[in-house]
Structure 1
Amino acid sequence: MPNIKSAIKRVKVNTKANAQNAQAKSAMRTAVKKADAALTAKEENANELLTLAVKSLDKAASKGLIHKNAASRQKARLMKKA
């Protein structure tokens, strides 16, 4: 643990940000997996799940959790299945 006050604060802030980023990234992955499964099984709610997945990918890209090209690639693959 650091001794300098600003370094102690950075550790706390980084820990909190890391937890939030992990939660958001996990939610994004879950949305993409659900949409992919629904599209593969041709379920009736596939379009709703696809919309949620695209939204979560865009949000993750805008926050810097994933690269914008990676988000675009994943969206294209989902749209191709639709």
Structure 2
Amino acid sequence: MPNIKSAVKRVRKTEEAEHRNISQKNAMRTAIKRAKTAIKTDASEKDELIRFALKKIDKAAQRNLIHSNKADRIKSSLMSTSK
């Protein structure tokens, strides 16, 4: 544990950011899984779930939680399987 006040604050802020990033990444993964299962079962709300997953993917890429190429790859696979 650091002794300097600013270092203590930096540790605290880093942990907060880490928790926030993890929860946003988990929400993105959940949205992707829900969209894929909706596509597989041909659910009625399939389009809405795909749109929501694309939004989560774009937000994660915008916040540098995932690389932009990975975001494009995930979006492409979602769109190709939805046809």
Structure 2 match to 1:12:
12
Question: How big is the shift at 1:21?
Answer: 0.5
| Distance in 1 separating the partners of 2:39 and 2:75 | 13
Which residue number in structure 2 is paired with residue 55 of structure 1?
A: 55
Residues 7-57 of structure 1, C-alpha deviations (whole Å, 9 max, x = no match): 111100001001101110000000000000100111111100000000000
The sequence identity of aligned pairs, in percent, is 46
Q: Distance in 2 between matches of 1:69 and 1:37?
A: 23
- 1:3-82 equivalences in 2 (<5 Å): 3-82=3-82
| Shift >4 Å, 4+ stretches | none
Cα RMSD of the aligned pairs, angstroms, is 0.5
Cα distance in 2, alignment partners of residues 19 and 28 from structure 1: 14
SS in 2 for 1:40: helix
Work out the CA distance in 2 between the residues paired with 1:59 and 1:81.
21
Task: Measure the CA separation in 1 of the matches of 2:35 and 2:24.
Answer: 17
Query: Unaligned 5+ residue runs, structure 1?
Result: none
Unaligned runs of 5+ in 2: none
